[in-house]
Structure 1
Amino acid sequence: MSFTSLGLSPALLKALVNQQFTVPTPIQQAAIPAIIDKKDVLAIAKTGSGKTASYVLPLLNNLQKSFGVKNRHANVLVLVPTRELAEQVKDVFLTFSMQVPESIKTLAVYGGVSINPQMMALQGINVLVATPGRLLELVDANAVHLSSIETFVLDEADKMLNLGFKEEVNRIISLLPEKRQNILLSATLNNDLQNIQQILLQDPLVIEIKEEEASLDLINQLAYIVSDEKKGPFLRYLINHHQMKQVLVFASSVHQADAIVNKLLKNKINALAIHSKKSQGARTDILHDFKSGKLRVLVATDLMARGIDINFLPFVINYELPRSPKDYIHRIGRTGRADTAGDAISLVSQAELHHFEVIQKKMGKQVKMIDSAGLI
């Protein structure tokens, strides 16, 4: 199946070609026609399955059709749990709307930055991407009105509820028009989510995509046994030897991430760290540079990696192993996406060998181990 069969406009099909999207993922195949038909949708799928584009494309398609109807306020509200995801979703809207002849305006609002510029930017917005707390602050300040919302998207709903946003989400839902389209996206389906689903969705199309194993199969995993003191030089060897142009490195702490970057920079390898000590503006700029290919190496902590979503990231390196097998799978799952193979390399010290055996057992896959001695 191709995107041309899903009912998207010629402008959006051109945008897909420009972004090198050729074949829709399973969730896109199911969700795009349903959202174009303004049906409610419940989509359960893992990270990397193409969820964001599965609703961005049809919503832009529908906004094109209704562009002659003038509204003072936003038509589409996308609610997300984190500011990193808010920026990521906004970027996807902006990327695909560039080819659309009508001017469709998208704004992301979130806490941790000044509210005043966000208030000023709200005029004439078609798509509002927001975190719950900041959205309610804007509502309470009478800076935003939700009376014109035609489509409400609750993205990463399971994470939203896990982070304690249930009351805020319920209040936001109560402010929306009764007649609207609802789209609920989540990686899992739990009791809290089922309760919200019953309140929110009217006769929804339910899409459940199980593809964790398939995505792992696209990842070439390899591990090197490296002493702690030689991990820095060996990381630089790997980057240079394999001529890595875009690589995501995982570190165990903020301090370690900064230390890795300092060593890389001293050896003339373009690198930056992203972690909780960086300002929101700095994080946004760093992510943009990494996604666009201007930044060669991004060093991240597990907390910050949630906002890193790149379809064609070729390399992931675990400088140290994460604490849990689940985190390991999340880390390496940053590569091997959109039907494109990727490489995940782990640097494992003698002290980490037993823990790595546990990770492999939980994952159900054996990883080839190579002794790094003599390679550098």
Structure 2
Amino acid sequence: MSFSSLGLSAPLLKAVAEQQYTQPYPIQQEAIPAILKGKDVLGIAKTGSGKTAGFVLPLLEKLQNTPQSRNRYINTLVLVPTRELAVQVAEVFKGLSSHLPRRIKTLAIYGGVSINPQMMVLSGTEVLVATPGRLLDLLSSKAVHLSEVETLVLDEADKMLNLGFEEEVNKILSLLPAKRQNILFSATLGNEIEQLIKGQLHEPVRIEIQEEAQPLEQIKQLAYLVTPERKGPLLRYLIRQGNMPQVLVFVSATRTADNLVAKLTKNGIEAAAMHSKKSQGARTEALNRFKSGKLPVLVATDLVSRGIDIQQLPYVINYDLPRSPKDYIHRIGRTGRAEATGEAISLLTPDDRHHFRIIQKKMGRQVEILETNDLDLQGS
């Protein structure tokens, strides 16, 4: 199947070709025609399955045939859980709309930065990509209006609810027109999502892309057993010995991230931290530098374990194990995306071994664990 068979116009097909999308992913094959028909859609698919383009392309197509909305009255609202995802989704809208005959303004809004500049640039916005809290701030200031929203997208809905946004989301939903198109994407389908579906979606087209073993087969997994005091030197040793050009390192706490970056930098390895206590400007700069290849090491908490698309990322290292097997899969899924290969490494202390056995059992895959006692880490 090709994108041209999905009902998209020539300007969008040209943008698709420029983005080097060769053929639609399964979720795109099902979502694009359904959204073009005005159907409500429920999509259950893991991060990295192509769902963003799956809703962006048909929504841009529809907007081309829709009169421009009144100033500050939004036509299409996309709710997302994190600032980084808001920026990323907005970039996809902008990139895929580059050849459309009618300009469609897309804006990302999020907290952590001054609200005044966002209020000033809202004028003329048709597609608003927003985190719930900042959207409510703008609504209370009457800087934006939702009474003419025709399409609502809830992206990464499960994470939005897990992060405690349920009250904010419900408040926003109460301000939307009853008659609208609803599109909900989620990596998982729990009780909270089921309740949301019952209350908001009308006879949705259900698209469930089953997670298969094949994506994990593209990721080479390896673990190293190490004492806590040797974890830092081992990390530096692996980065240097492996000549890793780009590596995403996951830690469990913001303090660990900052301390690790300080040690890496002190030892001549350029790195930056990305976590919730960093300013939005610092987070955006670090992520942009990392994605462009200018920053070799990004040390992050689980803030970026889902919803961030880093093309061709070769290495992920779990400096600390995540709490759940599901989070482990989301983390290592930052590499080996979209048919690329990648390597995921975990640093295990003796206390981690039981938890790692549980992760392997849930994942259905054994990971080789190497001893490091004989490695000379002096000078690393």
| TM-score calculated relative to the size of structure 1 | 0.91
Equivalent residue for 1:203? 203
TM-superposed CA distance for 1:271, in Å, is 1.2
Residue identity matched to 2:237: Y
In 2, Cα distance between equivalents of 1:301 and 1:164: 18
Structure 1's unaligned 5+ residue stretches are none
Q: Give yes or no for contact 2:305–2:327 (8 Å, CA) kept in 1.
A: no
Residue-by-residue CA offset, 1:132-185 (whole Å, 9 max, x unaligned): 222222222211111231211112222333344334333322322333211111
Q: For structure 1, which segment, 337-346 or 220-229, has the greater mean C-alpha deviation from structure 2 after superposition?
A: 220-229
Say which SS state the counterpart of residue 117 (structure 1) adopts. Answer: helix
Q: Give yes or no for contact 2:156–2:307 (8 Å, CA) kept in 1.
A: no
TM-superposed CA distance for 1:42, in Å, is 1.0
Residue-by-residue CA offset, 1:305-358 (whole Å, 9 max, x unaligned): 345332432210112323333332222122122122211011223443333233
Equivalent residue for 2:312? 312
Residue identity matched to 1:363: M
What does residue range 25-64 of structure 1 map to in structure 2 within 5 Å?
A: 25-64=25-64
Equivalent residue for 1:225? 225
TM-superposed CA distance for 1:367, in Å, is 0.7
Equivalent residue for 1:239? 239
Q: Give yes or no for contact 1:48–1:311 (8 Å, CA) kept in 2.
A: no
In 2, Cα distance between equivalents of 1:335 and 1:243: 17
Residue-by-residue CA offset, 1:273-329 (whole Å, 9 max, x unaligned): 101221122112212222222221110112443453324322101123233333322
Equivalent residue for 2:20? 20
Note if 1:271 corresponds to 2:259.
no
What does residue range 45-84 of structure 1 map to in structure 2 within 5 Å?
A: 45-66=45-66, 69=68, 71-72=70-71, 73-84=73-84
Residue identity matched to 2:43: A
Q: For structure 1, which segment, 296-305 or 116-125, has the greater mean C-alpha deviation from structure 2 after superposition?
A: 296-305
Q: Give yes or no for contact 1:107–1:122 (8 Å, CA) kept in 2.
A: yes
Equivalent residue for 2:261? 261
Q: Give yes or no for contact 2:69–2:75 (8 Å, CA) kept in 1.
A: no
TM-superposed CA distance for 1:101, in Å, is 4.4
TM-superposed CA distance for 1:35, in Å, is 1.2
Residue identity matched to 1:40: D
Residues 229 and 163 of structure 1: is their aligned pair in 2 closer, same or farther, counting only changes over 3 Å? closer
In 2, Cα distance between equivalents of 1:243 and 1:223: 18
What does residue range 93-242 of structure 1 map to in structure 2 within 5 Å?
A: 93-242=93-242
Equivalent residue for 1:357? 357
Equivalent residue for 2:300? 300
Equivalent residue for 2:86? 86
Q: For structure 1, which segment, 360-369 or 166-175, has the greater mean C-alpha deviation from structure 2 after superposition?
A: 166-175
Q: Give yes or no for contact 1:46–1:212 (8 Å, CA) kept in 2.
A: no
Residue identity matched to 1:71: R
Residue identity matched to 1:210: Q
In 2, Cα distance between equivalents of 1:350 and 1:171: 46
Residue-by-residue CA offset, 1:113-136 (whole Å, 9 max, x unaligned): 222111111100011011222222
Percentage of identical aligned residues: 64
TM-superposed CA distance for 1:208, in Å, is 1.0
Q: How large is the Cα RMSD of the aligned pairs?
A: 2.3
In 2, Cα distance between equivalents of 1:30 and 1:249: 35
Residue identity matched to 2:70: N
In 2, Cα distance between equivalents of 1:181 and 1:69: 17
In 2, Cα distance between equivalents of 1:47 and 1:235: 27
In 1, Cα distance between equivalents of 2:198 and 2:149: 20
Q: Give yes or no for contact 1:105–1:126 (8 Å, CA) kept in 2.
A: yes
Note if 1:325 corresponds to 2:342.
no
Residue-by-residue CA offset, 1:174-204 (whole Å, 9 max, x unaligned): 3223332111112222333333323322222
Q: Give yes or no for contact 2:306–2:331 (8 Å, CA) kept in 1.
A: no
In 2, Cα distance between equivalents of 1:363 and 1:25: 23
TM-superposed CA distance for 1:37, in Å, is 2.1
In 2, Cα distance between equivalents of 1:265 and 1:221: 26
Q: Give yes or no for contact 1:45–1:187 (8 Å, CA) kept in 2.
A: yes
TM-superposed CA distance for 1:69, in Å, is 4.1
Q: Give yes or no for contact 2:11–2:99 (8 Å, CA) kept in 1.
A: yes
In 2, Cα distance between equivalents of 1:111 and 1:334: 25
Equivalent residue for 1:346? 346
In 2, Cα distance between equivalents of 1:325 and 1:196: 25
Residues 229 and 70 of structure 1: is their aligned pair in 2 closer, same or farther, counting only changes over 3 Å? closer
Residue-by-residue CA offset, 1:88-125 (whole Å, 9 max, x unaligned): 22222223233444322111222232221111111000
Residues 276 and 163 of structure 1: is their aligned pair in 2 closer, same or farther, counting only changes over 3 Å? closer
Residue identity matched to 2:289: D
Q: Give yes or no for contact 2:44–2:208 (8 Å, CA) kept in 1.
A: yes
Q: For structure 1, which segment, 320-329 or 111-120, has the greater mean C-alpha deviation from structure 2 after superposition?
A: 320-329
In 2, Cα distance between equivalents of 1:121 and 1:39: 31
Residue identity matched to 1:241: Q
Q: Give yes or no for contact 1:221–1:344 (8 Å, CA) kept in 2.
A: yes
In 2, Cα distance between equivalents of 1:218 and 1:293: 22
